[in-house]
A and B are shown apart, each in its own frame.
Chain A
């Protein structure tokens, strides 16, 4: 059995004390251990940002790539080896600014991966600029008079793109987040886990105090049906006195992109033998041009 200790790493995180990333790291280890997935049983693909360094802080197999390109690299990794689960981990800037195109495409393609967005609504590593999920009016070094952009709503955006698993977690609810990540791992398609996460250094607007009394668990709401698209759409808009966390929407019946690629029917691409063309194949190719 895989235990939490199996993921221990000697590299210490560079995160601030109180950063939501610690809880995300713990929740990931918990979800993996619970599913008996070891360090080589999953590939982490991350971008650039404080949180994208996460795979270095646990014993893991990973690829810490470029800013915004996380999901493109992850898609390529899945297409080459769909036998290996992939978890993308990146921030709101990586996901919805630099990488927005890849987010849109990956969701609509339904690539089978878990997409963890460390959504602290601010830029951390570059020191406090506003992010695509920052509220309008946010004062930061790049918006000294207050941002005049309206924020992205990740769950609602994912819904419009036909996402098959839309969820929101909160780094202040560790057990719930670990459960959510496990459900996302079980989902046979693209799974968004948008994690509300305080940045204790750069974002005072969304501190633990803000979330503490607002957050409620959707799955504890009587009668909430996560297969009901309209209900999910309504919950995706809810933001104010009450903020829902949990699985907003889930449909396990939609085939993933990988499942529909003819070349992958025979198994993962990297496991298929790579030989020279046979004389028959060479003959056929030459006939085409003769």
Chain B
């Protein structure tokens, strides 16, 4: 870790604009040619409490947040109380001059820099709320980061609010930079901009998935707001008119998925972004899509449950639930992207998969991946790779040429039946949530039931091949081919584990590698071989009961050597994994 790897943390009460200003600062760093990773941490409330936003910045690409903090921007005393302990030696706490530093917090190895944050915000910006902008101006000054990048982000972000607001914020930045001069030389963690760096992008997992979905032809988004999934609806709503998408904030998640199924039945590419609680309400309709073979995509950005749980925090405890949700049996995809790049890829591919197999595709993200910002290269989201494939969707010409009465549920080798959409004289049929015959008519015949159930489940063969044939969808390996310890993971933990692997291999190559699953259902066919080839295996996942571990045993018959599970609502960090006793114990055994 170079000294250029610095984390700035701004903290205060809900309502102080920490997330928007933090994301803005991360964008400024990105424009300045640096790599940023922004991690929000907030409570489920609109005012008060304690929220913070951490921005890690480096001249090298970042895949994760990290625990050490170099600079704390304390908008209130509570921030000093909670975060002074996390500050590394030589770091600093910037606080509002109007506040007093509690004596017990003082550390000789940490600088305490009073700045009249609120006073400057009011004097220069006209409003106390701009103290966050002043604070980031101080941060830029202390870190030796050219504030013009911050100014350019302010100009863009506040453009809709007009010149007056822009100017007020620019004055607030300037005041912050000016105030930082008093402490120049007292803060050694410098992150200068890299002016000749190529342009890069910064976004979070929700945005990456939404971009993929839009590129993949999603034109119908229905959901009921629920953290952390609702930003996907907001994202689409802001662009709906321009891209010709219908978005619907519905009466409930039950309404949402049934609308999406109604739209999917008509031939639209439809999805419901939500979280676990919303997904719970969608379960019955998932079965409707399964038995009537209507394509639909559901995006579940997980948060800790059960019930309301920890609304604004992260967990990976919905895996086995979404795999089995609904009474009865039907084929489905369960895909859990681990990175922004995969979120984008899964975002468009989910709609092709749902169409090709005429069945629900479920995407599992979580708060950590959905809400964290990360700098990526300009070509990281591969728009060129996007295809729109509607599968066995009959064209107007094919329907015109139909001679026989249309069999919507024709028994086929692949299990996929050529699909029509309503409105053609040659395709007049009724789909039903009841078991039905090839024409769609309700049927309780035993032989027919077996034939239709078999037909539906035969799709799993093609679905499995689909997963196995795509590295983006199946498994990702990171690190040396052979290693003493192999971390096994799924979903959002990819980044922190990748960095943990790097750190463990520093100076001692071949200690660790990573096997990461994106496809959970169907489970990659080579999972067994990959696990057999691995070193001592440690499954790292964000739940109490070891859901991936259970799945591995069910699908491969293999046991793993160790497990690290976390369910405190906070994300895994590289430090947490590297320092975990299970890791130490396994290395000792090797």
Contact = CB atoms under 8 A, between A and B. Distances in A.
Interface of A: 11, 38-41, 43-45, 48, 53, 55-56, 59-66, 69, 72-81, 83-84, 101-102, 104-105, 261-264, 266, 269-270, 272, 274-277, 281-282, 285-286, 289-290
A270 B259 contact: no
A285 B211 contact: yes
A289 B288 contact: no
Nearest to B200: A290
Interface of A is mostly: mixed
A66 B285 contact: yes
Nearest to B222: A76
A268 to B, nearest CB: 8
Given A66-B284, A80-B268, 13 more contacts: A38-B425, A64-B434, A65-B288, A75-B262, A81-B266, A261-B246, A263-B244, A270-B421, A272-B244, A285-B214, A289-B201, A290-B30, A290-B200
B422 A72 contact: no
23 contacts: A38-B425, A39-B428, A43-B422, A45-B262, A53-B442, A63-B431, A64-B434, A65-B258, A65-B261, A66-B284, A72-B259, A73-B262, A76-B265, A80-B262, A84-B422, A263-B219, A263-B240, A269-B244, A270-B268, A274-B390, A276-B387, A290-B201, A290-B378
Contacts of B202: 289-290
A83 B423 CA distance: 9
Interface stretch (B182-190, B249-257, B520-528): B249-257
A11 B443 CA distance: 11
Contacts of B207: 289
Contacts of A38: 425
Contacts of B161: none
A290 B377 CA distance: 10
Contacts of B544: none
Q: Which of B240, B250, B432 has the most CB of A within 10 A?
A: B432
A79 B430 CA distance: 20
A80 B442 contact: no
Q: Which of A64, A80, A281 has the most CB of B within 10 A?
A: A80
Interface in B554-580: none
Nearest to A53: B442
Contacts of A73: 258-259, 261-262, 265
A5 to B, nearest CB: 15
B217 interface: yes
Nearest to A68: B254
Q: Which of A61, A63, A76, A274 has the most CB of B within 10 A?
A: A76
Given A56-B430, A84-B423, A263 B241 contact: yes
B429 A263 contact: no
B427 A40 contact: yes
B141 to A, nearest CB: 25
Interface in B218-268: 219-220, 222, 240-241, 243-246, 248, 250-252, 254-255, 258-268
Contact of A80 (B267, B430, B434): B267
Contacts of A69: 254, 258, 285, 288
B158 interface: no
Contacts of A101: 251-252, 254-255
A269 B270 CA distance: 11
Given A276-B388, A282-B383, A77 B266 contact: yes
Interface string B261-283: 11111111110000000000000
A74 B262 contact: yes
A45 B45 CA distance: 41
A261 B259 CA distance: 15
Given A263-B241, A269-B246, A289-B201, A75 B259 contact: yes
B49 interface: no
A212 B220 CA distance: 47
Contacts of A41: 423
A282 B215 CA distance: 9
B203 interface: yes
Contact of A64 (B201, B270, B431): B431
A269 B201 CA distance: 31
A55 B431 CA distance: 10
A40 B423 contact: yes
Interface in B420-476: 421-425, 427-434, 441-442
Contacts of B211: 285
B101 interface: no
Contacts of B582: none
B203 A289 contact: yes
B90 interface: no
Contacts of B441: 11, 56
Contacts of A104: 251
A286 B245 CA distance: 19
Q: Which of A48, A105, A263 has the most CB of B within 10 A?
A: A263
Contacts of A274: 217, 219, 269, 388, 390
A104 B250 CA distance: 12
Contacts of A79: 220, 246, 248, 259, 262-263
A59 B241 contact: no
Contacts of A78: 262
Contacts of A282: 215, 383
A74 B255 CA distance: 10
Q: Which of B244, B265, B266, B421 has the most CB of A within 10 A?
A: B266
Given A72-B258, A79-B263, A63 B292 contact: yes
B203 A264 contact: no
B61 interface: no
Given A40-B425, A56-B441, A76-B222, A84 B266 contact: yes
- Enumerate the 9 nearest inter-chain pairs by beta-carbon distance, A residue then B residue, closest first: A76-B262, A76-B259, A72-B258, A80-B263, A80-B266, A64-B432, A73-B262, A62-B430, A77-B262
A261 B412 CA distance: 39
B199 interface: yes
B254 A56 contact: no
A230 to B, nearest CB: 29
B394 interface: no
